Amino acid sequence: MSQRRLEALRRLLDHVHRVFALQFGFLLWDGSMVPENWERGALCVFIADEGAVAGLVRRPNLRTLANLWAAARLDLRNGTLFDLVAHRPAVRTRDMRKMLKKTLLLRAASRFLFARRGEPWPLEEISTRRGSAGAAQNKKNIAYHYDVSNAFYELWLDPEMVYSCAYFREWDNSLAQAQIDKLEMCCRKLRLQPGETVLDVGCGWGAFLIHAAKHHGVRGYGVTLSEQQLAYAKEKIERLGLKDRVRVELKDYAAIDGVFDKAVSIGMAEHVGLDNLPAYFKLVHRSLRPGGLYLHHAITRPGKSRQVHRRKKRPEFDALTQYIFPGGELDTIGRTVTGLESAGFEVHDVEGWREHYQRTCRHWHDRLVSRLDDADAEVGSVKARLWLLYLAGCSVAFERNNVGIYQTLVSKRVKGTSGLPPTRVDLYR
């Protein structure tokens, strides 16, 4: 039976290759190539066992693909996920089935329908229900993603450990330079002055507060729910002699107290949850002195579709929140601005950085690929391969304009002048 399955699959894949004029081949578990004359040094999709095909036949969806990829039962040879995307057929998914011979498709599917799926399926035990609902659940969600391993993140982040969109003054700048430029741009937008107090909500490994204290003379306070981030940030702050100027704590954003001159949130609002954003904005508002500036840096989804208003997630984002970012939700930029205004802020500037994040994610992916053996040793091959898929998918999503990212500068509304300069020209010198 196995040989008959193999032959049916070969015939189907050969048909698929010819119909869609694919620019990649297939390497099957018995070592054979489809097409037969496909060069073994060229890009190809590797199928490790017949159970992988059986799983796809029974459940042809993203979760099945993610499981097979994480287990390396589906893999690539002689290329990356970006190469596969670049060589995808120029045919809409909805039209693909119409172009295939139904007899070949049904014959191959019938051969595998009752075959064993085999093992492993490493992602099937991951819960699908982990929303943002209180401090305890928030901490679990954050720990799932950020407490993977500081050493793992050091393999592919920049030297300052900035895990958010970089800012490329030139498109060919290095990741390290682009992240320094991003930190500096955030400081400039907040118009930091020596001696001011700055709140960083979701401070990560401390990069922004450390940069702001070293180069702008501020006193910073940050919170995170990641124990490993906290340990890393505290060690770095002490090593750099900044303990008297920068303080970080393990604390949920809802427990923040005190009043600050300026505030920033860089890549944290995605974890808050749409239902919690009004309360979150109000908390930031009451944490600022009158006229104080707040920089809100967050990924967004396009606001034009009915799916957005119904809060329906795209399949790829649904998989992302299950396997990578539990509890994650994306607002639209329109709702973000409205929410900030409703909380008592005046909006001064909204700047889109979508293409910057596309490049950032590509840098992260390529750096992880270059250290994949080290990543496997640190967190295991399943986690490393899953993060590769996530970073590549994010880069492609930003490139295709399926998601966006904006920096929104607001101030705590006052009657009278805002105190800001008449233009923004000084920010971009």
Active-site residue numbers?
A: 394
Single-letter amino acid, residue 251: K
Q: Which residue has tokens 């920010």?
A: 427
Q: Which residues 6+ apart lie within 8 Å of 234 measured at CB?
A: 248
* Angle of helix 372-379 versus helix 381-399 axis, rounded to 10: 120
Distance (Å, whole) CA 220 – CA 207:
11
What is the longest distance spanned by two Cα atoms in the chain? 81
- Give CA–CA dist 318/311, Å, rounded: 11
- Say if residues 10 and 50 touch (Cβ distance below 8 Å): no
**Residue 374: phi, psi to the nearest 5?**
-65, -40
The tokens of 213 are what?
A: 């204290």
Helices 315-323 & 381-399 angle (0-180, nearest 10): 150
Handedness of CA 397, 399, 400, 404 (dihedral sign): positive
CA distance 73 to 296: 41
* Closest-CA residue to 280 (of 355, 351, 335, 205): 335
Decide the pairing of beta strands 197-201 and 219-224. parallel
Q: With contact defined as beta carbons under 8 Å apart, do 260 and 231 qualify?
A: no
DSSP strands (E only) in 108-224: 197-201, 219-224
Q: Which residues of 403-428 are buried (b: 16+ CB within 10 A; e: fewer)?
A: bbbbbbbbbbeeeeeeeeeeeeeeee
Q: Under a CB-based contact definition with an 8 Å cutoff, are residues 224 and 138 in contact?
A: no
- Cβ contact 11:121 at 8 Å: no
Residues 6 or more apart whose Cβ sits within 8 Å of residue 127: 322, 326
Find the length of the chain.
Answer: 429
| Rounded CA separation 364/179 (Å) | 12
